[in-house]
Structure 1
Amino acid sequence: MADFYNAKEIEEKFYKIWEERGYFEIDGNKEIAQNGKNFCIMMPPPNVTGVLHIGHSLTFTLQDIMTRYKRMDGFKTLWQPGLDHAGIATQNVVEKQLLAKGITKEELGRDEFLKKTWEWKEKSGGTIVHQMRRLGITPAWSRERFTMDEGLKNAVRKAFVNLYNKGLIVRGNYMVNWCTHDGALSDVEVEHKANKGKLYYIKYKILGNSNVENLAEVSCDEFAKFDNQNDKAKYRAVDVVNSNAVRMSRTNGASQCSTSENLSQMQCKTSRYVIVATTRPETYFGDTAVMVNPNDERYKDLVGKFVELPIINRKIEIIADEHVDMGFGTGVVKVTPAHDTNDYEVGNAHNLEFITVFDEKGILNGECGEFKGLERLEARDKVVARLDELGFIEKIEDYENQVGYCYRCKNIVEPYISKQWFVKSSIADTAIAKVNEGGAKFYPAHWINSFNAWMRELKDWCISRQLWWGHQIPVFYCECGHEWADECEKPASCPKCGSTKFTQDPDVLDTWFSSGLWPMSTLGWGNGDALKNKKWFENDLKDFYPNTMLITGFDILFFWVARMMFQSENALSELPFKDIYLHALVKDKDGKKMSKSSGNVVDPLTKIDEYSADILRFTVTLLCVQGRDIRLSEEKMVLVRNFTNKLYNASKFLLLNADKFNDLDESKIGSKLGLYMLSRFKTCVNSVRENLDAYRFNDAANELYKFLWDEFCDWGIELSKADKSSIPELGMIFKESMKLLSPFMPFISEFLYHELSSTCLENSKSIMIMPYPKQGKEDEQIVNLFNLVIEAIVSIRRAKATIELGNSKISKAYVKASCDLSEAINYIKLLAKCEEIEFVSDIVPNSARDVSENLESFVPLAGVDTTAIIARLTSQKIKLEKEILKLENMLGNEKFVANAPEQVLATNREGLATAKAKFEKVVSELKTLGEFN
């Protein structure tokens, strides 16, 4: 073997061979496949614009582990790959390229723009597919699908028409999430982030009480000088210092004047203004009411009166509704039904007018007077400045709130009333019921709670998008007034009147509508004649639907998983998969989410170049505990690199003692060490299979790591040096363990298997289509024997260490054990570095002694100068005594115990217990040395 393993060279060469031989396809393992055993998993189709990121690496690694495991276990296996057309993202990419040349899509026209988009897709799209291969994943690449290929276009139209005819797809004017760049968005396509903005307090003049409103204004001081009620009735008192209107009340003809620093606390039925707090002053032009809480005593007498909007002088009513939070701002809010989700509901409940104040691009319209033509966000400061100039701004405060952003272009999203297509929420009812009846199982199990919470509050899903790139909505409008949905891409005529003068709806479908059909459309459902020349699709639905399982990140549970559940169930009356494994996020070593702004993004391709695909795969798998975020660090990557070095060196050792090794044949295992390693291997196989079947990927990886490093390399290899005849047997077991490791680390396991076989992959079969190791029962008797052998070796080493002879060879040691270990004496002598081992039944005096769980060992002190050792132990004893006394005093202090945090107390108690244990050990060692002296 070479001195080092060239991962890059091996990975490129092996992957090409695997793919060329068709191993990834459903019949790639036909030699070992068993009838009736089918496994299917769907790749979450990454965006055609995407590149491989660390989240993909985790998802694809876990999917590949399961696919390789099932393929080796005799299943007819389909891992369905593909790409999503990514409507918004792709159109943005192509639009930017055109704009860089000074061309708009409108100048090109729809047909030409779509041609350009397809050209870009064929040339540059799918970069991520090439990157996936670097990770070593094995989907059936020959069956790669694209959400806008001909077959899937047919499936989308079929699904739409089916839902349309059932009344589950409807069109209407609703409030939607609106991006002024990308159009309508569903709720899950809006990202909410903390925003540091402003809260603007605007004065709305109260109308409807002329004997108060038309009074002349004088200062409070001047008002107080008037002697009679007739004079006072002619004037309104104002606080000229604070420029706040003064509360006036008239009770039995008497007028009283009072001032307040905060106008919001002194409103009454005769106040001149109400103060409205808002974060979006540019939308006040669309206000059609002012609202207070009916339980708010400050404003009860105002309900039913009217106010006048500043600048535009529109008259609107003051209404009462419990939607109002009395603690927000002044307790008075503006109602803009056409531009706020909550106000939309209030507007419907109170039969208010809906006034739209900007267009689809966010440009203010004629309702906004002098501000017409300004972009909504750019207009904000100008509107506020004008209001302030006219005296209508009471104050402005800093304010932090949540603002919605488009998940693609990061533009601020507006609530906006628009005529759109919707899938009715009732589509999900049956899917929800079936999931909760056990038709699908979540891993980790708690995700069913999130699924239920979201699905049971599901709103109608807006599926129309104002784009050109995507599946154009298959609804047609005839000049006769007839509307219909059609599976035919280009209907010949109107089914009602026969006219050819009809148009198609210009909008396209939400990207998630087509990807929601992925578990069945990729298997041929609804594809029509598009697959007529691909015979292998004929049995796909029967063999692979429902899919066996789904693996994806929890963050697309509602984007994708839920939509597949109700769309596929609606079409085929069966849930699309049985098991749903949702992994957590990959974060940095400190548990922080990765982001470009934080500078902590890990590029998986860089890590593959630096370490290897195997190392990246095994690292993320080791860290993937169900329900916990994955903290990826350089230290973990180095740890796994050391593991691969350990495997490589173990192979080199084996090949120093033999030219090649046979495949495992248990009947050829005869040595005690061989039987022991075989038993431990069987235990590892049992555990790995059990954990994979339960999707405990990290536990499966840990079992492999412990067996190969701790048991085989650290003990098996070392013990074999005392029995060279066992090495051919260990070589067989190690080769079989490479099959067990293959789904996790496919490249190095393949390489080492062939090295130990004295073959090369180019001229022999790959282990990826060999049978996966079978479960078995370990030999308890041989395992117990070697457990005691290892315990004896470790015990003697510890006894030697107490007298600073840890790595030195000694003439003799004694072992007091409950059973006869004489048949394994050579193992103990070699690894404990003792020329002679004597088994005894009693304590050996004048010896360094070590007591373990099942035996005791003794190393004679004769000839050992213990002076320095005793001095060191005595010093340790004194320090430990002081530490114990200090901790006992602290924990015995009632005042300290009463006031100290529980965590501090727990740390001190643990420290005391540890110090006492160390003290007892030191005393024991000193006692032994003292007896000798």
Structure 2
Amino acid sequence: MAAHQAAGKTESASVPAPAETALPKAWEPQAVEAELYQKWVDAGYFTADPKSEKPGFSIVLPPPNVTGSLHMGHALDHTLMDALCRRKRMQGFEVLWLPGMDHAGIATQMVVEKQLDAADTSRRELGREKFVERVWEWKAESGGTILEQMRRIGDGVDWSRERFTLDDGLSRAVQTIFKKLYDAGLIYRAERLVNWSPVLQTAISDIEVKHEEVDGELVSLRYGSLDDDEPHVIVATTRVETMLGDTAVAVHPDDERYRHLIGTTVYHPITGREIPIIADDYVDPAFGSGAVKITPAHDPNDFEMGMRHDLPMPTIMDERARIAHTGTEFDGMDRFEARVKIRERLAAEGRVVAEKRPYVHSVGHSERSGEVIEPRLSKQWWVKVENLAKMAGDAVRDGDTVIHPKSQEPRWFAWVDDMHDWCISRQLWWGHRIPIWYGPDGDVVCVGPDETAPEGYVQDTDVLDTWFSSGLWPFSTMGWPASTPELDKFYPTSVLVTGYDILFFWVARMMMFGRFVAEEDATTIAGKVPFHDVFLHGLVRDEFGRKMSKSRGNGIDPLDWVNRFGADALRFTLARGANPGSDLPIGEDHAQAARNFATKLFNATRFALMNGAEPGALPEFSALTDADRWILDRLEEVRAEVDSAFDRYEFGKACEALYHFAWDEFCDWYLELAKVQVNDEQYAESTRAVLGNVLDTLLRLLHPVIPFVTETLWTQLTGGESVVIAEWPEALRVPGDARAAQRIADAQHLITEIRRFRSDQGLRPGQKVPARITGTGAADLAGFESHVASLAKLTPAGDDFVASASIEVRTSRTTLTVELDTSGTIDLEAEKRRLSKDLAAAEKELAQTSAKLGNDAFLAKAPDHVVEKIRTRQRIAEEEVERIGARLTALGGA
């Protein structure tokens, strides 16, 4: 059996000592981020040139509210968009990432109204003109906090093209498309049911309504005669007060209990009117009594039934949700007060048949002001969406726009194929005022941007829904309705990045307007759609998978993470968890891990620079070691994997590939192997070249996601101006070497097993021990002797070598025996005490995890990922108990 010494060549005295580097000793992101970002802006790296001959790539930033501040959802959006833009810029595209803000009608008006209230005045005392001036003043002083926060996380947007949904250009676009839609018969005014906010006194959109489970009441009431022998019906309601607006009672046409009553009338116990009993398939005969009261002006389903049966629709509440116009003693009462008083009167009359409290049901609340929304019949302006929605659906069906992931397509079609007309008017003062003017004899005029209303005409007092102007965002921000170089170069935009939760509310509106304008104005806007790709990411959740909310107190301020861990750590945490359509749970541990990754990268580059690493021409393939060939081969595989993942918007996969290559392969293995090679004259120069080239490529691949640390390191490594404008890595022209990869894998396995054995023997990590490696395949280690010795902390076996311990290691070609002389290196009793302490801790962990997993109540309530985490802890504890127990046995027990 051939023998082989573990120690390798001695270090050459002619190898230079480590060089100095301009990098500081530690990575401190807070010290450099602001300066680096301003350098990029001042250099004009983010400013798009529409006259450039480069191919265009464009994204318009989903406009945050002027009242808003950066939350984790924004941070995710912005990180992914910035990563796409930075990569495309490096790939040679002319990139436009256009920023801006939304005027946020309701939210902004509320902010200023609260200020006026604190000053003991109101908007109505100021008047419309003065109030709007006051809001503009607030915007100039306090609006746009989020724009400064965008700089903190490194958003590479074109600040020279910043837009606002109420600026002159966008206002012109709004007025233009309103008139186009109006002239085409697609905008009309009608009395329909809306979400009404009694606090804000305006209609609000569906997205501004949040549904909450509340403890209400279900009251069963008797309509008709109190005599059981006379006609009567029992109805159940959670909103007793709405009975003042009842105009019918409905039953299912096939319900035998009520068939004889269909077409008759029944006495209303409050108003005294006779109301009809109608038949409608909507009624569920199995719910309650099978009869329902119909209040068309205050319930969406009742409204639809009222339309089908041509029922009267009296509105019984005013703008503040007080009972009005009923002619009863309840007029003037708040709706909730009236609910109690009406129930008390009916109970006194013997008409309350049953009451169920609490009755848990879902109730819509205003997201802005918090009160219960009142469905209310109101005269509003509407967009007729049938044809527009079909065009939006066809854009995806025809492949003009591709939704990523494809699994979200059914949700898209479900919305656009069943879309209801869109209420676009709001009873506010801050916003785009509806360009409709009223004249004598009911004359109505829609005024375009270059037109004026006839003298004496009065403009509509309402403003447009904020989503109306943001629906124009992809092309209005580039100058439409004018023909501009930006539209020629950058429209349609390349991709829209947003959360799947606003797919309908915003994306559908942009698609409808984009398709409509393309058909109406093909000379100005080229392209059928506003964006080629729609990438839908999931929601950011806390580490337990719960939705972040103020009520839970589990929200995370992204700027807090920036301050503590750096912007790169925030960005890498978010990008690493982002894959199409999937939610991403994050916690502080993730941010700390990302910060550690940046530090690891920094330290690796600093080591490489101190050892003369320099990118440039690689040596001839024959001059490279197996380690060099292996790391270059892996780098090319990772580069291709990252490119493919970015192209598919699989940010998480790209980040995972880069993380594990950088940490597990480059830092943990190649750098350690390189430490040996740079001290060998034969390989020092080629090793420095490989180090430099691998780092150059790796930093460029990582730059889109972690721009600050990569800029700092890449400029020091290469002397280049900025990695922002560096070329995206192309395929390496280095042939793969499967034999080198296998030899490295064998060496890694051997070193890992020796390290594990050393640990089990209780040897200190840096403690060197004499060793000898034998076996028929020992010759396969040729060239790796010094690597194994250095990384496994072994010294040559001398003439008096006596092995005190040994292990067998199976490689791809053979089995090796590693003999070590550990005599005199271990305090046996101290080692026993240490192992006994570790064993007790492992046994305690095993007992605790086993108890939890044996608790059926815990398993029923705990989320799946929490249970899996405990199972993993249990498995590790079992392995530790077995390993430590075996080691103690080998040492002779406790």
Whether TM-score is above 0.5 comes out as: yes
Q: Is the Cα contact below 8 Å between 2:770 and 2:820 reproduced in 1?
A: no
Could you tell me which of 729, 736, 744 is aligned with 1:773?
729
Counterparts of 1:915 and 1:60 in 2: how far apart (Å)?
Answer: 41
Q: Is the Cα contact below 8 Å between 1:795 and 1:852 reproduced in 2?
A: no
1:643 is aligned to 2:597:
yes
Aligned residues with identical type, % of pairs: 41
> How far 1:103 sits from its partner (Å)?
1.7
Could you tell me which of 343, 349, 366 is aligned with 2:325?
366
1:26 is aligned to 2:48:
yes
With over 3 angstroms needed to count, the CA separation of the structure-2 counterparts of 1:332 and 1:68, relative to structure 1, is same
With over 3 angstroms needed to count, the CA separation of the structure-2 counterparts of 1:704 and 1:342, relative to structure 1, is same
Q: Is the Cα contact below 8 Å between 1:848 and 1:925 reproduced in 2?
A: no
SS of residue paired to 1:858: strand
Aligned counterpart, 2:750: 792
Q: Is the Cα contact below 8 Å between 1:175 and 1:344 reproduced in 2?
A: yes
> How far 1:747 sits from its partner (Å)?
0.9
> How far 1:246 sits from its partner (Å)?
6.9
With over 3 angstroms needed to count, the CA separation of the structure-2 counterparts of 1:855 and 1:803, relative to structure 1, is farther
- Size of the aligned set, in residue pairs, is 812
SS of residue paired to 2:600: helix
Aligned counterpart, 1:505: 460
> How far 1:353 sits from its partner (Å)?
1.7
Structure 2: which amino acid aligns with 1:17? Answer: K
SS of residue paired to 2:773: strand
1:666 is aligned to 2:621:
no
> How far 1:176 sits from its partner (Å)?
2.0
Q: Is the Cα contact below 8 Å between 2:408 and 2:581 reproduced in 1?
A: no
Q: Is the Cα contact below 8 Å between 1:357 and 1:368 reproduced in 2?
A: no
> How far 1:376 sits from its partner (Å)?
1.9
Aligned counterpart, 1:15: 37
User: How do 1:109-148 residues align onto structure 2 when only pairs under 5 Å count?
Assistant: 109-148=127-166
Structure 1: which amino acid aligns with 2:29? Answer: A
Structure 2: which amino acid aligns with 1:491? Answer: T
Structure 1: which amino acid aligns with 2:373? Answer: V
With over 3 angstroms needed to count, the CA separation of the structure-2 counterparts of 1:491 and 1:854, relative to structure 1, is farther
SS of residue paired to 1:132: helix
With over 3 angstroms needed to count, the CA separation of the structure-2 counterparts of 1:911 and 1:38, relative to structure 1, is closer
Aligned counterpart, 1:336: 295
Structure 1: which amino acid aligns with 2:699? Answer: M
Structure 2: which amino acid aligns with 1:787? Answer: A
Could you tell me which of 506, 513, 518 is aligned with 1:560?
506
User: Per-residue displacement from partner, 1:226-273 (whole Å, max 9, x unpaired)?
Assistant: xxxxxxxxxxxxxxxxxxx6744xxxxxxxxxxxxxxxxxxxxx35x4
Q: Is the Cα contact below 8 Å between 1:581 and 1:695 reproduced in 2?
A: yes
Aligned counterpart, 1:834: 794
1:604 is aligned to 2:558:
yes
With over 3 angstroms needed to count, the CA separation of the structure-2 counterparts of 1:858 and 1:187, relative to structure 1, is same
Q: Is the Cα contact below 8 Å between 1:815 and 1:855 reproduced in 2?
A: no
Aligned counterpart, 1:252: none
User: Per-residue displacement from partner, 1:643-684 (whole Å, max 9, x unpaired)?
Assistant: 1221222233234334xx544333588542444433332222
1:618 is aligned to 2:579:
no
With over 3 angstroms needed to count, the CA separation of the structure-2 counterparts of 1:713 and 1:912, relative to structure 1, is closer
With over 3 angstroms needed to count, the CA separation of the structure-2 counterparts of 1:480 and 1:923, relative to structure 1, is closer
Once structures 1 and 2 are overlaid, which stretch shifts more, 828-837 or 544-553?
828-837
1:190 is aligned to 2:209:
yes
> How far 1:454 sits from its partner (Å)?
0.9
Could you tell me which of 397, 416, 420 is aligned with 1:436?
397
Counterparts of 2:55 and 2:168 in 1: how far apart (Å)?
Answer: 31
Could you tell me which of 261, 268, 275 is aligned with 1:309?
268
Higher Rg: 1
SS of residue paired to 2:785: helix
1:274 is aligned to 2:274:
no
Counterparts of 1:122 and 1:443 in 2: how far apart (Å)?
Answer: 38
Structure 2: which amino acid aligns with 1:320? Answer: A
1:75 is aligned to 2:27:
no
User: Per-residue displacement from partner, 1:169-193 (whole Å, max 9, x unpaired)?
Assistant: 2222222222222422333433222
Q: TM-score, normalised by structure 2?
A: 0.84
User: How do 1:161-560 residues align onto structure 2 when only pairs under 5 Å count?
Assistant: 161-180=179-198, 181-206=200-225, 247-248=228-229, 270=230, 273-398=232-357, 399-426=359-386, 427-479=388-440, 481-488=442-449, 491=452, 493=454, 500-526=455-481, 528=482, 538-560=484-506
> How far 1:595 sits from its partner (Å)?
1.0
With over 3 angstroms needed to count, the CA separation of the structure-2 counterparts of 1:480 and 1:313, relative to structure 1, is closer
SS of residue paired to 1:388: helix
SS of residue paired to 1:711: helix
SS of residue paired to 1:367: coil
Aligned counterpart, 2:663: 709
> How far 1:307 sits from its partner (Å)?
2.3
Q: Is the Cα contact below 8 Å between 1:358 and 1:364 reproduced in 2?
A: yes
Q: Is the Cα contact below 8 Å between 2:191 and 2:377 reproduced in 1?
A: yes
Structure 2: which amino acid aligns with 1:90? Answer: T
Aligned counterpart, 1:159: 177
User: Per-residue displacement from partner, 1:695-752 (whole Å, max 9, x unpaired)?
Assistant: 1101111111112111121112211221111235413432342222111111111112
Structure 2: which amino acid aligns with 1:779? Answer: P
> How far 1:851 sits from its partner (Å)?
2.0
SS of residue paired to 1:666: coil
Counterparts of 2:184 and 2:49 in 1: how far apart (Å)?
Answer: 39
**Structure 1: unaligned runs, 5 residues or longer:** 207-244, 249-269, 494-499, 529-536, 839-843, 876-902
Q: Is the Cα contact below 8 Å between 1:848 and 1:929 reproduced in 2?
A: no
Q: Is the Cα contact below 8 Å between 2:500 and 2:581 reproduced in 1?
A: no
Counterparts of 1:331 and 1:863 in 2: how far apart (Å)?
Answer: 86
SS of residue paired to 2:368: coil
User: Per-residue displacement from partner, 1:588-621 (whole Å, max 9, x unpaired)?
Assistant: 1111111111111101111111111111111111
1:54 is aligned to 2:72:
yes
> How far 1:457 sits from its partner (Å)?
0.7
User: How do 1:799-810 residues align onto structure 2 when only pairs under 5 Å count?
Assistant: 800=758, 807=765, 808-810=767-769
Counterparts of 1:767 and 1:668 in 2: how far apart (Å)?
Answer: 27
Once structures 1 and 2 are overlaid, which stretch shifts more, 503-512 or 186-195?
186-195
**Structure 2: unaligned runs, 5 residues or longer:** 1-22, 520-527, 679-683, 837-863
Counterparts of 1:564 and 1:391 in 2: how far apart (Å)?
Answer: 55
With over 3 angstroms needed to count, the CA separation of the structure-2 counterparts of 1:671 and 1:354, relative to structure 1, is same
> How far 1:690 sits from its partner (Å)?
1.4
> How far 1:542 sits from its partner (Å)?
1.7
Q: Is the Cα contact below 8 Å between 1:796 and 1:857 reproduced in 2?
A: no
Structure 2: which amino acid aligns with 1:510? Answer: D
> How far 1:140 sits from its partner (Å)?
0.5
User: How do 1:725-744 residues align onto structure 2 when only pairs under 5 Å count?
Assistant: 725=684, 726-727=687-688, 729-744=690-705
With over 3 angstroms needed to count, the CA separation of the structure-2 counterparts of 1:729 and 1:913, relative to structure 1, is closer
Q: Is the Cα contact below 8 Å between 2:540 and 2:585 reproduced in 1?
A: yes
With over 3 angstroms needed to count, the CA separation of the structure-2 counterparts of 1:364 and 1:921, relative to structure 1, is closer
Counterparts of 2:782 and 2:75 in 1: how far apart (Å)?
Answer: 52
Counterparts of 1:38 and 1:928 in 2: how far apart (Å)?
Answer: 69
Q: Larger relative contact order (C-alpha < 8 A, sep ≥ 6)? A: 2
User: Per-residue displacement from partner, 1:468-521 (whole Å, max 9, x unpaired)?
Assistant: 11111122223254323222265153xxxxxx2222222111111111111111
> How far 1:642 sits from its partner (Å)?
1.6
Counterparts of 1:540 and 1:18 in 2: how far apart (Å)?
Answer: 22
Counterparts of 1:518 and 1:119 in 2: how far apart (Å)?
Answer: 24
> How far 1:368 sits from its partner (Å)?
4.6
Counterparts of 1:281 and 1:928 in 2: how far apart (Å)?
Answer: 80
Counterparts of 2:889 and 2:69 in 1: how far apart (Å)?
Answer: 66
